[in-house]
Amino acid sequence: MTVQSITWAPLAPVLVLVAGLVFVLLADLMLPLGVRRMVLPAVSAVTCAGAAGCAAWLAGDPGLPGTFCSAPGPGNASRCAYVLGETAGFLTVVLCLAAAAVLVLALAQLQADVEGVTPAGEYCLVLLAATIGAVIVAGSRDLITLLVGLETLTVPMYAAVAFRRGSSAGAEAALTLLLVSVTSTALMLLGIGFLYGLTGTMHLDVLAEVLTAGGGVGDLALADVAVVLLLAGLAFKVGAVPFHVWAPSTYQGAPIPVAAYLSSASKAGGIAGLIVVLPAVSSGSPAAATWMALLAVVSMTVGNLVAMRQRHLVRLLAWSGIAQTGYLLVGLAVLSGRSDQALSGAGATLAYLAVYLLMTVGAFACVAAIDGTTGTVGTTGTVGTAGTVGTTGTVGTTGKTDAAVRDGPSVESVRGLAADHPRIAAAFALFLIGLAGLPPVLLGLFGKVVVVRAAFTGDAGWLGILVALNTVLAFVYYLRVAAALFARTGVAVGSAGQLASTPVEVAPGRAVSSSTGMLVAALALVALVAGFWPDLIIGAAPLLSPFGE
């Protein structure tokens, strides 16, 4: 009987998260409601930050062994189920920090929920459980551990998406996510089953050796089918086109902190799964490189084109996230190729992932702040059957309309936001410009340069050209929203649809939550500082080739 060796040190980040989860579960039973709303999300955020600290400390130890290891396979290939190496450590750090930021957003939401409609304990518990799954995916070295991690990441999100009480959109979004996730899991299981039947192993290092053996199973058409099925299942998790249909409606139906989590930590978990799998399956299957390049091109192009038509901020950020997924997949397409610089593709993806998480969480934090401050801004009167605003219409002051509750803030509702909330408007514009890759937010520009450089050095220059073209395309909607934040307000619409000169008074909004405001300020400061000191984020990514080479 084969006995696995177990080392607990690599599991420290997972154990920290598990300890935090148990604490939240017990505290939810004992603390009064008012205390729970503040303590549980704060403790959960600190737990995620602690797990990130453990990963950063342990990943710097090159002698750290793997855990759940069996006897070495042919050619001394590793048979460990979980390894906290340099790449896994970096992924664990960035996704745990993203989860901590989202939990700060959840703190603001729960504080505002004075009636206790949203259960604080369950809210924090499902986000911590999902983060545990993402951390497991980052360090997985066999297909079973990978699958368990992905399902641990995905299943809690069904409940998290449905936490938007009082709106049928939450239930619809949760059902959509459930159906899509079941489909993606079925595809992955089918691909894993084929690979195991062909190779007789679940360990990725052994799998790579078997697939690359000359005249072996890697030459069979079924091996390519298995690889495509496995990658298709992972493409669902990251929302790549054409497996993206769940993302916009799910983001819009979920609470804003949960949408931020899906767009950041959850997506980072899916990218981690691709980084883990691709070196093993692409070594014996040229279909992997073609598949990843195709997904990258279609995702960035379709995402940008559809984002230009969006009028609601959450849906716009959802389609923007799909386009950003395409940029992330460019590096993975290079990783899947046969170039001497293939590993630099993984480094570029890791670097851009960190930039993307910072900007995306910051943008969603600003949307959350806007959602809590605008009241009925943008509702400038009573809309008639012809779709125009009547001349006697006035600005509402008694809360949001049903459409606002269902859809969230729109681009029109944030027009002139800088007049009332200049700091939030400035930070939101900064994050949008960073996602676009424009100066003066140099961090976003450096991230795009890293991806384009990896494409050209990895014999995929055509992908680099498409990234540059799509970046220009994305300027349209990022700058449209940024300009709206600082636009002049007070123009009314007459009964015939013409612009009237009568000023319209905007209803005063509520103050921004202190926790959300501090989070936005901290993320904006990091984005600005890292733009002048890129090594803070981009330079920390492993496998990234220095620019001097």
Residue pLDDT, tens place only, 310-333? 889 999 999 999 999 999 999 999
Q: Which tops the pLDDT comparison, 117 or 129?
A: 129
Angle of helix 442-457 relative to helix 514-532, nearest 10 degrees? 50
Classify each residue of 203-224 as buried b or exposed e, where b means 16 or more C-beta atoms within 10 Å of its C-beta.
bbbbbbbbbeeeeebbeeeebb
The predicted model gives 201-215 an average pLDDT of: 81
Q: What percent of the chain has pLDDT over 70?
A: 83
Model confidence at 408, pLDDT cuts 50, 70, 90, reads low
* Residue 145: band (very low, low, confident or very high) from pLDDT cuts 50, 70, 90: very high
Average pLDDT over residues 34-53: 92
Query: Which 8-state DSSP code applies to residue 373?
Result: T
Cis peptide before 546 (omega within 30 of 0): no
Torsional sign, CA 130, 133, 135, 138:
negative
User: If pLDDT is split at 50, 70 and 90, which confidence band does 502 have?
Assistant: very low
Average pLDDT, the chain: 83
Can you read off the two tokens belonging to residue 492? 């009314």
Contact call for residues 456 and 547 (beta carbons, < 8 A): no
Task: Work out the average pLDDT over 74-93.
Answer: 81
Say which amino acid occupies 376: T
Confidence of residue 299 (pLDDT cuts 50, 70, 90): very high
How far, in Å, are 187, 204, 334, 501 from residue 339 at the CA level? 29, 21, 7, 62
Cα 312 to Cα 413: distance, rounded to the nearest angstrom: 9
Q: What does the alpha-carbon distance between residue 444 and residue 358 come to, in Å, rounded to a whole number?
A: 10
Q: Which tokens sit at 503? A: 């000023």
Rg of the chain over all Cα atoms, to the nearest angstrom: 24
The reply to whether omega before 242 is within 30° of 0 (cis) is yes
Which letter does DSSP use for residue 8 in this model? S
pLDDT the model gives residue 77? 56
Is pLDDT of 166 > 60? Answer: yes
At 441-485, the pLDDT tens digits run 889 999 999 999 999 988 888 999 999 999 999 999 999 999 999
Angle formed by the axes of helices 267-281 and 86-112, to 10°?
160
- Listed residue (305, 359, 291, 295) closest to 327, CA to CA: 295
User: Does position 428 have pLDDT exceeding 80, yes or no?
Assistant: yes
Q: Buried b / exposed e across 237-246, counting CB within 10 Å, b at 16+?
A: bbbbbebbeb
pLDDT of residue 3: 61
What pLDDT is attached to residue 441? 82
Could you tell me which residues come within 8 angstroms of residue 283 by beta carbon, excluding any fewer than 6 positions away?
A: 208, 211, 212
CA dist 295 and 457 (Å) reads 20
* Residue-wise DSSP of 428-450: HHHHHHHHHT-TT-HHHHHHHHH
Residues 140, 275: Cα–Cα separation, whole Å: 10
- Residue 143 is which amino acid? L
Lowest mean pLDDT among 83-92, 157-166, 244-253: 157-166
The H-assigned helical ranges of 200-286 are 204-212, 221-238, 246-253, 256-261, 267-281
SS3 content of the chain, % helix, strand, coil (to 5): 70, 5, 25
User: CB–CB of 256/313 below 8 Å?
Assistant: no
CA-CA-CA-CA torsion for 406, 412, 416, 417, nearest 10 degrees?
20
| pLDDT for the residue numbered 188 | 93
- The string of DSSP letters for 123-175 reads HHHHHHHHHHHHHHHHHB-BHHHHHHHHHHHHHHHHHHHTT-TT-HHHHHHHH
Q: Which residue has the higher pLDDT, 395 or 458?
A: 458
For residue 401, pLDDT over 50 is answered with no
CB 299 within 8 A of CB 240: yes
Please write the tens of the pLDDT for every residue from 261-293: 999 999 999 999 999 999 888 876 777 888 899
pLDDT tier for residue 376 given thresholds of 50, 70 and 90: very low
Give the pLDDT band (50/70/90) at residue 1. Answer: very low
CA–CA distance, 33 with 38 (Å, rounded to integer): 9
Q: How far apart are CA 177 and CA 157, in angstroms?
A: 8
The pLDDT of residue 37 is 87
pLDDT at 75 over 60: no
User: What pLDDT score does 508 carry?
Assistant: 46
Weakest-pLDDT range from 42-51, 64-73, 80-89, 295-304: 64-73
Nearest CA to 372 out of 184, 105, 167 is that of 105
